[in-house]
Structures are given as C-alpha cells and as structure tokens.
Structure 1
Amino acid sequence: MKNPIKNIIAYFLILIGSFFHSCKHEDLSIYKESENLANIIDFSKNNYELTLFHAALIQVGLTETLTSEGPFTFFAPTNKAFNEIGIIRASDFASMDQDSLKMMLTYHILPRRLNYSDVPPNTIDNKYTNLANLEVYLGNRFFIGCSTCSPRIEFYINGASIQKLGTDIPLTNGVLHTIDKVLKYKPSVQDILLSKEKYSFFVQFLKQMRKWDELSESGPFTIFAPTNDAFLKEKISLEQIKSWNPSNFHNRFWSVYLVYNHFFLSDMDVFGKLPGSGYYGAPYYKSQIRGDENYSFGISTHSPRKPFIIDTRKSYQDSPDRESSLEPISELDYKAENGIVNGISNLLVLPTEAIKK
C-alpha cells in the first residue's frame, strides 16, 4: 500500500517546481539606484520652481546634450530668478536672441559633477570652467555659531546664493543646485555698462572724467554704477555732465565708483565684517580712494549692505558723508572677464562736495 503522506509531499514538490519553471527572469525586478532619479530635462519639467529653466533648455535645443551620460553640474535659476529679469512665461524665451540664450544657459552648467562638499569651506574664488568655456567662481561659508548649534552652510556661485533646500540634488547624469538669480556675463565691464540704457549717464560721466578707456584694460575692477535716475535726482542732466572738466574736481568725485579689486557681494558674507565697531566703522569692505586717500569707499555691515563714502579723518566714523542703496538683486554681481558691475541708486559724491576750491 502506498504511503498517502509521501504522495502529498511529492505532489507539493512537483507543484512548487512547476511554479518556478513557469516564472521567467524578466519578471524579476532588481533595484537600481538610477531608476529612482531623473535627468535634468525630466526633473525640471516636473519641478514647479524650475519650469522656466526647463522651457529655456528646450527652446535652445539642449535636450540631447543634457540627457547624455555627462556628468554635469547644473546651477538652475528658479522661476522667481527669471521673473527678476522680466521673464514671466515660457513663451518669453522665443523672443530672445537664441545664441545669447544658449550661451547664458551653458554658463550655468559645468561638464563635471560638483557637490557642495567638493568646494573647500570658508573660501571664495574657487574657479570652475563651464560649458560656455568660461570660468565661474564658487564660495563656501561653513561655520557653527555655538556649541549646541547646527552647522550653517552658505554656498555661492558668482554672487548668487545656492538655495539651502536645493543643493546636491542627484540626477541620473550629474547633480543639481538651485540658485536665486540668473547668472550674467559680458566680455568687459564696458560691455555691461553699454548694454543698459539706465547707465548711459554714468558712461558719459566716466568718459568726461577720462576713466572710460581704463575699463577696457584687464583690471580687475568692481564697479558700483549709479543709474540715470541717480543723476536726475540731483538735477544733473546729460548736457551738464558733458560740460564738466575733470581737473576741477577731486579724484573721489569719480574714483569712489571704481574699486581696483575683484569681489562679489557674497564674498563679504563668507569672510564677515572687518574688525572695529559701528555700522560704518566695521564694514564688510573698506578701501582708500586712489588719489584721495583721506576718503574711503565701503560696504556697510548689515543688510541692506549700503555702499558709502567716508572721510577717514573724522574721529567718529559712524556717519558716512553719503551712502546709496543697491539696485535689485538682478542688477548685482554682473560678471565680466575684467571685473564685476553692481547697480546703485544714488550718487556717492555730489559735484559741490568734490569741486576744488
């Protein structure tokens, strides 16, 4: 007589065997990390803060390049950053010069993977070459305010702040950082000033003071450029500017706007204010004015960081001779090969304050 228990076990084993035989390997799923990531085209399309960046990439036909193996590092301006320069909707890109738009976008992309931790802490001017074959400058501030405080991280590219909640985002072919403004570039500071009608009075002023040609040289320069409205507020017309003779004025009249150094406004955040006390006595930046060394140009310590001029012979230096507000974020840290341009809304020295007696 056959053993019924053995028959049941044999039947069960046959059933299990037939089940595994019927399963094919392609039905099995093996976890791969990259399957949970997206490339920049898909990621920006599905991220509501980056839809304008996505539209710009599509507009200039960078899809094939940026979905390749890479690796790439993307510094992606948010929609708000594009709004700051007047781009509100995706269709706005169609009316732009397409070569200039493509160059602007490749300026935001590195042909390598660069995480936040790759940039040395508490440094500025870490240079990296982008897809436009130009250099961008990264700064990194890392500090701990107290024994129980969490580390504070501030990460910058060409003066733009890399958003704390949008850094080191992994992609299939690189990494993404979101930034708070669109990076801009021109070959020289002259090109920047000439590209904006709002600086036409200042351009004429520099020509009249015989400083314009100097700005075609290698520099570096950091220019604080008053707008046309800054002159008009003081009832100074373009014709009046054309009548000025530089020999009638002290150097501070024009040199207060020309810093013979290269720095982004964010560089001062990385290194902090100078030793001293007071709002103007301990600024982020202060330097003597060439040819007028009794006066200094500086950037005040606290936000909003106001450019100012001060007479350093005063015993009490908390009162500047004159100060100005900075223009909106989109008009700051405009990079050129030989320097940087920042817009300001007021004159720092009036003609009556600099005329030789």
Structure 2
Amino acid sequence: MRNLSLSLFKKSAMMITLVATVLFSSCKKDKDEVVQDKNIVDIVVSNNNFSLLKAALTQAGLTDALAAKGSFTVFAPNNEAFAAAGFDTEAKIKAVPVATLKKILQYHVLGQQVTSSAIASANNTAAKTLADLDVFITKNSSGVFVNGAKVIEADIMASNGVIHVINTVLMPPSGNIVEVAQANPNFSFLVAAVLRASQGSTNVAQVLTGEGPLTVFAPTNQAFISAGFANEAAIRAADPATLTSILTYHVLASRVFSSDLTEGAKPATVNGAAVTISLNGGAKVKGNKNTTAATISAANMVTTNGVIHVIDQVLLP
C-alpha cells in the first residue's frame, strides 16, 4: 500500500509540473506575441515617457508612416530629452513649423531594423536616415551612441522594427561649419575672426567650408572678450596670421563627437600643435598656453562637414 501511495504521489507531482510548464510557456508565448503585435507607434503611445515624442509625431503627420508594415529603427528621445532641447510642452512642439519638425523626426529613423547586437564596434559609422541625411553611430566599451547621444535603453522590439531610447534630440545639420556659426549670434566674434584670418595667407573660411570632416571647438563671444578682444572691431584690427594660428588650433581634421573623447587624449589640431582632453567633472579641452581648461558647454552640433563643440575660452597654442 505504501509503495502504491508513493507511486501515485510521484505521478501527481509529475502532472503538476507538466501543467505548470505548459501554463508558463503559454503565458510567455502570449506575452511575446503581445509585444510583437505592437508597432512602433503603439509602443510610443503606450509609454508615458514618450508623450512628447507622441505629440511630435502627431503634429508632423508621421504616425501612419511609423505604424505601417516595414522595418525601421527609431532612435527615440524620451521626455527628458525633449525638455532639454527646449520642447518641454506640447504647445512648444506645435509652435515648430511642420516641415521642420518632420525633418527632425525623420532624422531619428533608419529605413531598416538595426538591433544593438548588429551594430559594429567602431566609431562614427554613417547610417542614412529617412531625412536623407547621415547619422553617425558609435559602439564602444561605454555603450552605443548616435551623433554623440547615448542609447539609454536598447532593443525595444516592435512588429515593424526596433526602438532605441536616447537622451538627446538629434538636430539635422543646417549647413557647413561656417554657415552654422553665421546663423548663431553667439558666434559673431568667431565669424569675424574667421573672415579676418582669411585675409592673410591662409583662407580659413575655405578650410572650414571644405568637405571635411572637421571638428571645431568654437569659442563664444564672451570667450573672445575674455581673451582680450573687446569687440568685433578689435578682431578686425588683429593680425590675420595671429588669428589663423589661433583659429586652426581649434580645429581637428576628423569628426569627433563627445562620445569619442577620452581622458588625457592629446589630439593634434590643424595648427599642428595638440590640445589636451579631460573628462573629470565634465568634458574640457585645454590649450598649451591656457592656465585652465575650457569647458565644453554644448556638444555635438552636427554640420554637413563635421561637428561643433561650444567652449568658454579661446584656446592658445
């Protein structure tokens, strides 16, 4: 009798285990199917941290396109990213011209699915977006970055592609380095310096409008004032050769996003001399004759021929 009871107990235990396994597998399958049944727009709409992205997609008329069958990769800025870019309310998003907003959003979308595991370990691999402009993807020991913006959550799978959450709104380039500087009133001293330097033996403006890619550490107007140039007239009166030496010391002959900067690096500039990079307490760059390092106050301004980082000092070779 005891053996019979033991046998029945073992059979009952096996049956319970089998039923539990089936139920668990069924639940897991159902869960996976629900995830896969959601398209990119469904996921954005259902995630409260994408409410500003949802508003932007709706305003730009892109919801149907990203809900359609296909294979997309979306680098999706979260609400924090939109707020940091100055779009912290739906009203501010709706104030942007639709064509401009559409181009910005399309600049976040690739026309094929690219999971994080499919991204090569390399710096600044170009990838064409739906805006017909390239973004530059980096994968290194610190993670995955696009135009220097960090992917903070990767591989949210959808039925029509994949979403990677990023911490920055990517702004498509609006011109080359000189054109972008000319459009920014905080760079008027820099533009005056480039034009004055170009009156000498080196056409600095031509260098900065060339094909590139280039990286420019761009001093603000206040940085020039602190360096002894009281106004633009003072810059126009300066020796072109001196300005050329200083300006070319702010230029790297490669595309370098903030994600490419490493502690203690000493990249050579177009001037020939090197600058020193430090990352402790925020990204900084120091010139040979500067007593302190310049802070990079705004990074990764993409242009058609490179990238601009805003700094608060003029670098001295």
Q: Answer whether TM exceeds 0.5 for this pair.
A: yes
Q: What is residue 99 of structure 2 aligned with on the other side?
A: 99
Partners of 2:252 and 2:113 in 1: CA distance: 34
Which letter maps to 1:71?
A: S
Which of the two has greater helix per residue? 2
1:222–1:339 contact (8 Å) kept in structure 2:
yes
Q: What is residue 245 of structure 1 aligned with on the other side?
A: 239
Partners of 1:206 and 1:140 in 2: CA distance: 34
Q: What is residue 138 of structure 2 aligned with on the other side?
A: 139
Q: What is residue 194 of structure 2 aligned with on the other side?
A: 206
Q: What is residue 127 of structure 1 aligned with on the other side?
A: 126
Could you say if the C-alpha distance between residues 36 and 255 of structure 1 is closer, same or farther in structure 2, counting changes exceeding 3 Å? closer
Unaligned segments of structure 2, at least 5 residues: 1-28, 199-203
Could you say if the C-alpha distance between residues 301 and 32 of structure 1 is closer, same or farther in structure 2, counting changes exceeding 3 Å? closer
- Quote how far apart the aligned CAs of 1:83 are: 1.5
Deviations 1:110-148 (A, max 9, x none): 111111100123x11222211112221111123xxxxxx
Could you say if the C-alpha distance between residues 250 and 36 of structure 1 is closer, same or farther in structure 2, counting changes exceeding 3 Å? closer
Partners of 2:237 and 2:46 in 1: CA distance: 57
Aligned: 1:217 with 2:191: no
Q: 3-state SS of the aligned residue for 2:169?
A: coil
Q: What is residue 156 of structure 1 aligned with on the other side?
A: 145
Partners of 1:156 and 1:110 in 2: CA distance: 15
Partners of 2:150 and 2:270 in 1: CA distance: 29
Q: What is residue 293 of structure 2 aligned with on the other side?
A: 323
Question: Alignment RMSD, CA only?
Answer: 2.2
Write out the 4+ residue segments of structure 1 that deviate beyond 4 Å after TM superposition.
none
Q: What is residue 195 of structure 1 aligned with on the other side?
A: 183
Unaligned segments of structure 1, at least 5 residues: 1-29, 143-152, 274-282, 312-319
- Quote how far apart the aligned CAs of 1:234 are: 4.1
TM-score (norm 2): 0.82
Higher alpha-carbon Rg: 1
Aligned residue pair count: 281
Q: What is residue 21 of structure 2 aligned with on the other side?
A: none
Deviations 1:77-124 (A, max 9, x none): 121212222111011122212212111110100111111100123x11
Matches within 5 A, 1:1-357: 31=30, 33-37=32-36, 38-121=38-121, 123-142=122-141, 154-163=143-152, 166-186=153-173, 187-210=175-198, 211-234=204-227, 236-247=230-241, 249=242, 251-268=244-261, 272-273=262-263, 283-290=264-271, 293=272, 295-310=273-288, 321-327=291-297, 331-349=298-316
Identity %: 26
Partners of 1:204 and 1:85 in 2: CA distance: 28
2:114–2:162 contact (8 Å) kept in structure 1:
yes
Question: Mean Cα displacement is larger for which, 211-220 or 170-179?
Answer: 211-220
2:266–2:274 contact (8 Å) kept in structure 1:
no
Partners of 2:291 and 2:50 in 1: CA distance: 43
